Amino acid sequence: MTAESQHILPKDIFQTIFEKSPGSLLIKADIPRFTILAASDSYLEFTDTTRDAILGRGFSEVFPDSGNVDEHIKAHNVFIRVVNTGEKIDIPRYRYDIFNQQNNCYEEHHWSCSNVPIKGDDGEIAYILNTVVDITAEVKAKEIALENEKRLNLALEATGLATWELNLIDSTFSYSAGMAELFGLSPRTLPTIDILRSQITEEDMRNIILPSYHQALISGEYLYEVKVVWPDKSQHWIRTQGAIIFDDHNNPETMLGTILDITESKRDEIRKNDFIAMASHELKTPLTSLKAYIQLLAKKLNNNDDEFIANALTKAGNQVNKMANLIYGFLDLSRLESGKLQIKMQDFDINKLIAENIIETQLTNNSHKIIFNADGAIMVYADRERIGQVLNNFLSNAVKYSPKDSTISITTKTCDNEIKVSVSDNGIGIKLKDQEKLFQRFYRVDNDEIKNISGFGIGLYLASEIIQRHKGKIWVNSEENKGSTFSFSLPIE
């Protein structure tokens, strides 16, 4: 035995290797019959056949192409090309339906095939090695993904939503159809992110988009509404909602989200705000005169001891004050919405402000016991009038939403770099699900007890905006039927 022949494997070992190889079929290059010479076990399994049924028979005889297969990928034509060109030909995707005896129907299968020419001793192409990989599962998954994408696009189209994705590493930006129209551009254009950004005002970029991006780096989520200026100079509004995706090292990787045109609802809101601003402005003048007349009458009454008139005037004064508070609330609301709510910072003693507020509350309403143990002066740098407004809201709510003669307590506490002020009552309390929404505009708890108590749900919204403008925090702790504690904190030096 020569050294070389020691390395030659016996023929039956080759046969076994072939039979165990994945999806292989050996075909003789005998145009046009293409006789099947060998088949691997997995090939037989894919095609649901047996060696006895196919060996020695022509390929097309046992595996006929289905009628609707493209000519250039029909097995017979491909084999002829392999023999004639001597080149390997791949068919990345080929559909082959197999009859399922059990279900008595054809089942759709997809294969990826490769056809390799093999030369005989005379140098001519003598065989074709046909290998197949069953890719049915991948094809099906892709079809489902495409179908889902189609549905999503239909839904996006129907709702006027567009989706977008920004890769924060390489800055690639992609989006769904409909994005151009949201920016007033022709649907045929493919605007870049810079073009879209150039249509957002610098002010919104600075005051809304950048802060919400920085916020999203912490929370992972963002939601903002900004103005978009279309090429024809008309103003529109969009709402963007989405998330930031972080990599394993917590570095931001991708930003993605949806954009919705909210111009109509924004215009309605602007109209409503304009109306509120105009109405409350117009109401202010007659109310101021009414207040002045009541004060004048009260002064004149000093010379008169008619108890009924004195009583009626006090009540009228209280009602006018209530109305004035409401109207000023609405005015503040419209100032806030139009970005005109001003904060005038100054140094003052917050304990003194609280004491003044308590006196004022008790002047108009002596129905509750208010406890406040001030421990010296606590100086803060804030807008005295606005912080007074927040305190007044907390106090008047505590009075409104707790029983007559119950106790309201106020505490102030300084710790680290902040001062915390809390107003606690023993009133009706608030359910957990409502607590998160209390600071939203016009939110009022919907229950029978509250229905009979007047209010518009703007006090806490204004309070939260005021505290936010002071870079402070506002929150509530409450238990239904036990009571509530409303608190805010302000940074101090």
Tell me how far, at minimum, the Cβ of 202 lies from ligand ADP, in Å: 33
Residues with Cβ within 8 Å of 374's Cβ and at least 6 positions away in sequence, in order, are: 351, 354, 355, 412
Q: Crossing angle of helices 263-301/307-337, nearest 10°?
A: 150
Tell me how far, at minimum, the Cβ of 327 lies from ligand ADP, in Å: 13
Tell me how far, at minimum, the Cβ of 137 lies from ligand ADP, in Å: 55
How many Å apart are CA 372 and CA 361, to the nearest integer?
13
Tell me how far, at minimum, the Cβ of 178 lies from ligand ADP, in Å: 38
Tell me how far, at minimum, the Cβ of 418 lies from ligand ADP, in Å: 22
In which order are the strands placed within the sheet that holds 36-39?
36-39, 24-28, 125-134, 110-119, 89-95
Return the residue of 445, 466, 474, 490 that touches ligand ADP, per CB under 6 A. 445
CB closer to ligand ADP, 213 vs 443: 443
CB closer to ligand ADP, 383 vs 465: 465
Q: Say how many CA atoms lie within 13 Å of 337 toward its Cβ.
A: 19
Tell me how far, at minimum, the Cβ of 351 lies from ligand ADP, in Å: 21
Return the residue of 455, 469, 473, 492 that touches ligand ADP, per CB under 6 A. 455
Return the residue of 456, 468, 471, 479 that touches ligand ADP, per CB under 6 A. 456
CB closer to ligand ADP, 182 vs 398: 398
Do 320 and 290 contact (CB within 8 A), yes or no? Answer: yes
Do 228 and 209 contact (CB within 8 A), yes or no? Answer: no
Neighbours of 429 (CB within 10 A): 20
CB closer to ligand ADP, 234 vs 319: 319
Q: Which stretch binds ligand ADP (CB under 6 A): 26-34, 64-72, 123-131, 441-449?
A: 441-449
Element (H, E) at 90: strand 89-95
CB closer to ligand ADP, 244 vs 438: 438
CB closer to ligand ADP, 233 vs 451: 451
Return the residue of 457, 469, 473, 480 that touches ligand ADP, per CB under 6 A. 457
Return the residue of 55, 256, 323, 450 that touches ligand ADP, per CB under 6 A. 450
Query: In DSSP terms, which residues pair with 131 in a beta bridge?
Result: 24, 114
Interface positions, 231-290, toward ligand ADP (CB under 6 A): none
CB closer to ligand ADP, 259 vs 458: 458
DSSP string, 361-405: HHHH--SSEEEE---S--EEEE-HHHHHHHHHHHHHHHHHTS-TT
How many Å apart are CA 224 and CA 208, to the nearest integer?
7
| Contact pattern for ligand ADP over residues 400 through 439, marking x by CB under 6 A | -x-----------------------x-xx-x-------x-
What are the angstrom distances between the C-alpha of 62 and each of 20, 49, 89, 208, 483? 21, 9, 21, 69, 84
b/e for 35-62, b at 16 or more Cβ within 10 A?
Answer: bbebbbebbbebbeeeeeebeeebbeee
Task: Verify binding: residue 449, ligand ADP, rule CB under 6 A.
Answer: no
CB closer to ligand ADP, 193 vs 450: 450
Return the residue of 255, 459, 464, 489 that touches ligand ADP, per CB under 6 A. 459
Q: Residue 156 phi/psi, 5° resolution?
A: -65, -45
Cis (ω within 30 of 0) for the bond into 32? yes
User: Which residue in the shown chain puts its C-beta closest to ligand ADP?
Assistant: 455
Residues with Cβ within 8 Å of 415's Cβ and at least 6 positions away in sequence, in order, are: none
Task: Verify binding: residue 58, ligand ADP, rule CB under 6 A.
Answer: no
Interface positions, 363-402, toward ligand ADP (CB under 6 A): 393, 397-398, 401
CB closer to ligand ADP, 46 vs 461: 461
Do 72 and 94 contact (CB within 8 A), yes or no? Answer: no
Q: Which residues bind ligand ADP (CB under 6 A)?
A: 393, 397-398, 401, 425, 427-428, 430, 438, 443-445, 450, 455-461, 484
